[in-house]
Structure formats: C-alpha cells, structure tokens
Amino acid sequence: MVARVVPVDPFDLVVFGATGDLARRKLIPALYHRMHDGQMPEDARIVGVARAQLDAEGYRRMAEAALDEFGGEDARDAEMRRKFLATIDYVPLDVMEEAGWSRLKDALPTACGDRPRAFYLSVAPRFFGPIAEGVHAAGLTDANSRIVIEKPLGHDLASAAALNGVFAGHFSEHQIFRIDHYLGKETVQNLMALRFANAFFEPLWNARHIDHVQITVAEKVGVEGRGPYYDGIGAMRDMVQNHLLQLLCLVAMEPPSQFEPDAVRDEKLKVLRALAPLTRLEDVVRGQYAAGPGMPSYVEDANAPTSRTETFIALKAEVANWRWAGVPFYLRTGKRMKSRVSEVAVVFKSAPHSIFPAASGRAAQNVLALRLQPDEAITLGMTIKEPGPGGMRLAPAVLDMTFADTLGASNMRMPDAYERLVMDVIRGDQTLFMRGDEVEAAWAWVDAITARVDGERPELYEPGSAGPDDALMLMHRDGRRWRELAQ
C-alpha cells in the first residue's frame, strides 16, 4: 500500500546548520522521502546555510552522501535523487558576522510572496537569537515566514522565557514551531486516534478504571561524545522536561473540542499546570551509570570526575484533577540501560471480583502499551481462556492493535517523525508542536524538583541494568513493578 499524500505548496526552507548531524542524519533524508512519496513539489527550494566554505555543488555532494548513509532503500532512485538535489542551494554564512547576511539575501527573494518560507534552526541555541535577528534585519521575514527550533529550549524557566522573548520580538506565536520529535511519531498520534475516535476507551480513561501509567524512555548508549553538553544538564532537563512530559500530556489531557492546534495545546497546558509539586524526596530517584566490563563510567565518559549529573531519573508524578486523582504516573529515563525502548503503558485496575476458582490462574491487569521505539506498536494485554478442553484455565494474550496488516500497510515504510513535522511546518499546522506557554509550564514543574535534588550524589547503577535499586523500590513501595525492559 502507498500512503495517501496531499502535496504541499511550493516552499522555501532555509536550514541553518546544514552541515551538522541533525541536518544530515534527519532533515535531508526526511525531505528526500517527502519528494519521493509525491508530497514535496519539484519547485520547492532548500537553502543550506553553515559556516563551511562550500559552493552549492559541494553541499549537494554532502547531501548525496547523507542520502547514501541515512536514506535507506528509496534513496537509490537515481532520477528522484537528481530531482531532489536540484532543489538544493547553499550559502556559506557565519551567523555571528553581519557581513555574510547579504549572501543569504541574494539567494532568496525579499518577500515570501505566496510561498511559505521556513527557517529551520539546526544549530546550537546560542545562535537562535542572532539568527532570529539576522533574518529579520535582512528583510527576509513576513507574515508567510516561520521559524523552527528544537530542544534544548532553555535549561530552566527563566532561560526558556528569555528564549520565548527572543522569538516573540520578531515572530508571532503562530509562526514559531517548537519541535518535540516524539510528537511526530506515528504511535503518539495513534494514541490520540485511539482515545478520541473510539467510544470505549474514554469512559475507562480515568482514576476509577486506571491503576497507574508508566512512561519509559530507556537508551542503551551512554553520553558518548556529548559529555561536555550533557554534564550539568542531566536526564531531568534533557528528557523529562520535554519528551516524557509531552507523552504524559497526551495520555492525561481532556478531549479537545477539535483536533486543532490551540484546542489540543490548551488541553496539554492544563495537564502541565495540574501536575502536583513533588514534595516527597523518595518520589525522585536519580542515578548515574557506573563502569562495566569494557565500558567507561559516566564520569569517565564526560571527563568530569566529581560530576553529580544524573544519567537516569525515575519519578512518581501526579496529575491533580478529578480525572486522575490518586493515579500515579511513573516516569523513568536513562542511559546505558538494558535495552533501547520508549513506551507508554496504561495499566488498568484488576477486575473487581474473580468468579474463577484459584486453580484457573489469575487474570492479569489489562495493559494498553504504546511502543515508540525500537519498533512502533500498540498492544492490549488481555486475559483469555487457554484454548482446549483442559477446563477453565486463564491465560494472558496480547492483542496487536497496530493494524498495519488490516490497512494493508505492513510493507509500508514507517515515515520518520521529521518527515511529518517538516511538512506540518510548511502547511502551517502547529498541532504537533509545543506552544511557548507549554514549554514554560513544564520548566516550572521541573525547576521545583531540580532545585531540591541538584547537587545530591546520584545512586550508581550497573550499565545494562534497569537503573538504580531505588527506582525499583519506587514502585515496590506501592505494590507495583516496572514493566520488563526487553533485551
């Protein structure tokens, strides 16, 4: 099956940081796939901007190498490659130097006209202000322009508010696209489809029927070369403030009146504002990975011998409103863990009374699991009768609700989140992007926690484990347990 695509209008996309990792690994392949699938028109234009003194031909060679490395099967189509590379231009520009901006002006018409013009800031945040200022001063912005940024969006509430202020000086809120690429994942959007397009989940989606929610983002890798960036930041700021809280919002939000950007974001904001302050220190567990066989510890990786930065964090959060009163949301994320898995698990309460004799076995709690990584999938854990004539024996069964086969899509390439998100930028659809007030509300909750725990010594954990023992205790204390991290 070929996915249905609606072509977007011709556009100009200016990628600042075009020679960097994000641009080569994600953006260039994403744009190629959108053209390959018939969504990006041939008269769209991509203008790469970076410091490297390349000409357009030199940058096209770099883009081609990125397609070889990260573009997969579809990128072998020679004719499509030729068409795609023809859309690419390049401008060498140091954004900190005023002199270079005229070269970008030469590459773009002054007015956007009816072509949407997006500035994608695939650069370190210290360049966000100068670029917002630069494109504005060069007269390259108007009502049809938009700006795209991505984490880190500040490191606390004050810096996030300052960043929002920088952009607000030159763009209105509907022109600012703050990416959290988790929101571009198919499964995350499916969570909204499941909740709001089916009648039978929503009546159960509350404290009466849901026992707890677990959100896990586990990585196998350590900080690798990112040590200098990561040290002093840690898992709370790097992962919880954005990805995990965004997932929590989508589970916990009230049904918006429409699937429309501000209606959805208003509901997410209400969830963030309803997060109860964490008052019990035992509800926060911070860990740091120790050395393992052939693997350096975090402090060796980061070359920071006395560092107290956490590479793992587990939290018990609570959404203090009528729907969720008393339902814990357990969050955990860490590096150098047993496996790479991102998952949301909604664990329902047990049936109120068992009619079956003890010999039949116990019914497991129903679990709706949404897996984002490594393979996207949605499953519902059920209890059924064990097939056969052996009497009434209860057995667990997992319903695969991914439905790729039902839709004839099992052979379809799963589009990367960036493909969806970049096209949404061009369409001007902000539903899957964070609004400035959401980012600030998330920081406000995180800041209150980091103010209490930063500087405490994190508990060391074995690489390849499920994190520190105290994280297991966090749930054991409540008579619950984390879901297994598969190998």
Which residues define the annotated binding site for NADP(+)? 17-24, 51, 94-95, 151
User: Residue 122, interface with ligand NAD (CB under 6 A)?
Assistant: yes
Question: Which one of residues 4, 21, 199, 390 is an interface residue with ligand NAD (CB under 6 A)?
Answer: 21
Residue (of 134, 131, 173, 201) closest to 370 by Cα position: 201
Query: Of 95, 118, 153, 302, which one interacts with ligand NAD (CB under 6 A)?
Result: 95
**Contact criterion met (CB below 8 Å) for 283 and 474:** yes
Active site residues: 243
Residue 398 binds ligand NAD, judged by CB under 6 A = no
Nearest by Cα to 107 from 125, 122, 119: 119
State the amino acid at position 60 in one-letter form: R
Does position 148 interact with ligand NAD (CB under 6 A)? The reply is no
Please return the burial class of 458, using the count of CB atoms within 10 Å of its CB with bins 0-12, 13-18 and 19+: buried
Tell me which of 5, 124, 162, 399 binds ligand NAD, using CB under 6 A: 124
Number of residues lying near ligand NAD (CB under 6 A):
22
Beta partners for residue 344, in sequence order = 215, 370
Examine residue 132 and tell whether it contacts ligand NAD (CB under 6 A).
no
Asked, as a colleague might, if the bond just before 152 is cis with ω within 30 of 0, I would say yes
Residue 123 binds ligand NAD (CB under 6 A)? yes
Task: Tell me how far apart the alpha carbons of residues 320 and 272 are, in angstroms, rounded to a whole number.
Answer: 10
From first CA to last CA, the distance across the chain in angstroms is 31
- Does residue 221 touch ligand NAD according to CB under 6 A? no
20 binds ligand NAD (CB under 6 A): yes
SS3 387: coil
Looking at the Cβ atoms of 127 and 201, the one nearer to ligand NAD is 127
Q: How far apart are CA 243 and CA 241, in angstroms?
A: 7
Pairing of strands 341-348, 367-373: antiparallel
In the list 8, 14, 17, 85, the residue contacting ligand NAD (rule: CB under 6 A) is: 17
Residue 18 Cβ vs ligand NAD, minimum distance, rounded to whole Å: 6
Cβ-based nearer residue to ligand NAD, 151 or 435: 151
Q: Measured from the CB atom, is 106 or 114 closer to ligand NAD?
A: 106
446 Cβ contact partners less than 8 Å away, ≥ 6 residues apart = 156, 236, 237, 240, 241, 245
List strand residue ranges (DSSP E) for 361-453, in order: 367-373, 377-385, 394-400
Which of 12, 150, 238, 419 lies at the binding interface for ligand NAD (CB under 6 A)? 150
Least CB distance from residue 370 to ligand NAD, whole Å?
Answer: 21
| Residue 153 touching ligand NAD (CB under 6 A) | no
Task: Enumerate residues 33-92 that contact ligand NAD by CB under 6 A.
Answer: 50-52
Identify the DSSP state of 239. I
Which residues are near ligand NAD by CB under 6 A? 17-23, 50-52, 93-96, 122-125, 127, 150-152
